[in-house]
Structure 1
Amino acid sequence: MSQAELNLLIEQVKQCELCKPELAHGVKPVVQLHSTAKILIAGQAPGLAVHQSGVPFDDASGERLREWLGIDKAVFYDPKQVAILPMGFCYPGKGKSGDLPPLKQCAKTWRALLLAELDQIQLTIVIGKYAQDYHLDTAKQSLTETVKNWSDYPRSIMPLPHPSPRNNIWLAKNPWFAQQLLPELKCRVNDALKD
């Protein structure tokens, strides 16, 4: 598929209303894709701030994620370098202890089609349990186990917790994340962008 054809597919995604009845805040798919992207960020679903701006990771989570990756906004928001494809494309709404899980219809309908067009990806960053279960088949493991065993996965895949400020306690309880995983993550990001 050419980039022009991928652009048509992206337009179809942005017009998608399959989950409209389940979305209290309305339909507003947020993705960032280009066929030449070297890094894929496979996240959960947009939060309310992202829903309002239409810009992926346009919040405190995004600030932290860019810090973890060691890249600035110019690189992060360049779709020719970084693709952002969450498990759910629209804000799912608020739950008791944070946002609701991503709706499954996005992945069922669009994910395989879109991933097939991202054939230049060198590094897939898998953020959160829902994305890890899809990309890594980790349904029987906890998020902590998956992230702690990051070196067991191929060099082209890096599992991460969500960079949300809600995870500050998790980060404090797991100092190995900053000490061991983050330096390796920055190295892999740098290598992927050089290729």
Structure 2
Amino acid sequence: MMADLSAILDDIRACRACAGDLPHTPRPVVMVSAETRLLICGQAPGRRVHESGLPFTDPSGDRLRDWMGVDFETFYADPRIGVAAQAFCYPGTASKGGDYPPPPRCAALWRPRLLAELPRVELTLLVGGYAQAWALKERMKANTTETVRAWRDYGPAILPLPHPSWRNTAWLRKNPWFEAEVVPHLRARVREMLA
């Protein structure tokens, strides 16, 4: 089991399938172990994550850790927390300033094999619309807001979240129910899993 996970992680880190499509050298970023119980599935690494090689080393990560109620050290040191985005490489920045969407090729190539090697996962956080669309398929509501609002429908194994980007600050102000209902539930689940 551990050997299979190690082999898949080696393959992912060596992957260059999107080399011709990316504006830079691929640098797959994934952080999971055989102990992973809480799996965070975002869309794709951003520029800062591409540079650091560690997931969520940016302001989005600060907000996500706050939602989870964990500090920086716990997030990276506790093997029960794992991160495997829809795409493992930074897709580049679009002209309007946001990042390009995650290339679907990455999820198709790697997610089924990787998830099969993570049998201890009890809770998957689906961070943002791309992750929700891939994982929930027809169970996704009309949009990310409605999917996150229906969070109780997906439990206990899945919790949809908005993207923690600063670009969603206005969304958070318009949807106070998220921080009032979903965040306390998330923190309680994380506490329970890491106890």
Q: Fold conserved (TM > 0.5)?
A: yes
SS of residue in 2 equivalent to 1:94? coil
Task: Give distance in 1, aligned partners of 2:78 and 2:90.
Answer: 21
Kindly indicate whether the alpha-carbon contact (under 8 Å) linking 1:44 and 1:86 is maintained by their aligned counterparts in 2.
yes
Kindly indicate whether the alpha-carbon contact (under 8 Å) linking 1:45 and 1:91 is maintained by their aligned counterparts in 2.
yes
Q: How is 1:1-195 mapped onto 2 (pairs within 5 angstroms)?
A: 1=1, 3-78=2-77, 80-95=79-94, 96-137=96-137, 138-139=139-140, 141-194=142-195
SS of residue in 1 equivalent to 2:91? coil
> 1:165: Cα distance to partner?
0.5
1:84-136 C-alpha deviation (Å, 9 max, x unpaired): 00001000011125100001111111100000011111111110111001112
Kindly indicate whether the alpha-carbon contact (under 8 Å) linking 1:33 and 1:79 is maintained by their aligned counterparts in 2.
no
Amino acid aligned to 1:71: V
Kindly indicate whether the alpha-carbon contact (under 8 Å) linking 2:141 and 2:147 is maintained by their aligned counterparts in 1.
no
> 1:33: Cα distance to partner?
1.1
1:53-99 C-alpha deviation (Å, 9 max, x unpaired): 11100000000000000011222113621110000100001112510
Over the matched positions of the two proteins, sequence identity in percent amounts to: 46
SS of residue in 2 equivalent to 1:21? coil
Amino acid aligned to 1:110: W
Count of residues in correspondence between the two structures = 193
1:23-55 C-alpha deviation (Å, 9 max, x unpaired): 002200000010111100011000000001111
Instruction: Give the unaligned 5+ runs of structure 2.
Output: none
Instruction: Give the unaligned 5+ runs of structure 1.
Output: none
Task: Give distance in 2, aligned partners of 1:163 and 1:154.
Answer: 20
SS of residue in 2 equivalent to 1:58? coil
SS of residue in 2 equivalent to 1:179? helix
SS of residue in 2 equivalent to 1:14? helix
Q: What TM-score do the two structures reach when normalised by structure 1?
A: 0.95
Kindly indicate whether the alpha-carbon contact (under 8 Å) linking 1:88 and 1:102 is maintained by their aligned counterparts in 2.
yes
Task: Give distance in 2, aligned partners of 1:149 and 1:114.
Answer: 27
